[in-house]
Amino acid sequence: MSHFKCEHARNRKFFKDRIISKNLWPPRPPDLTPAYFFLWGLLKGKVYKNTLRTIEQLKDAIREEIHAVNVDTLGKVFQNLEKRIQVCLDMKGDQFQHRL
């Protein structure tokens, strides 16, 4: 059973009919969340190129790199998100990573 299906079954058991998006949307699908499919990879590559010795240095480096992301890049990320959403819809919410 996939991670999403296990998570969905657990949520249904716990929340019953109280979930607003019940049966419509996975809780935090990584392939449809820009922070997962774009931002974390970008940040890891840039932030860890330097040796960081403290949590504060890490936080500062992350903030600096987030502020360095330009509008054109964000536009491309959201164009890619639109494509990912369409592929997800075409696959009726089933596995779609292989179609990207």
Task: Give pLDDT, residue 70.
Answer: 93
As given in the structure block, the two tokens for residue 21 are: 């998006």
pLDDT tens for the chain, 100 residues: list them. Answer: 555 565 666 666 666 665 555 555 555 677 778 888 888 888 888 998 989 999 999 999 999 999 999 999 989 898 988 888 888 888 887 777 777 7
Q: Specify the residue for token string 């998006």.
A: 21
> By the 8 A CB rule, do 31 and 97 touch?
yes
Task: Give pLDDT, residue 41.
Answer: 86
**80: nearest Cα among 49, 47, 42:** 42
Task: Give pLDDT, residue 92.
Answer: 81
- pTM score, two decimals? 0.56
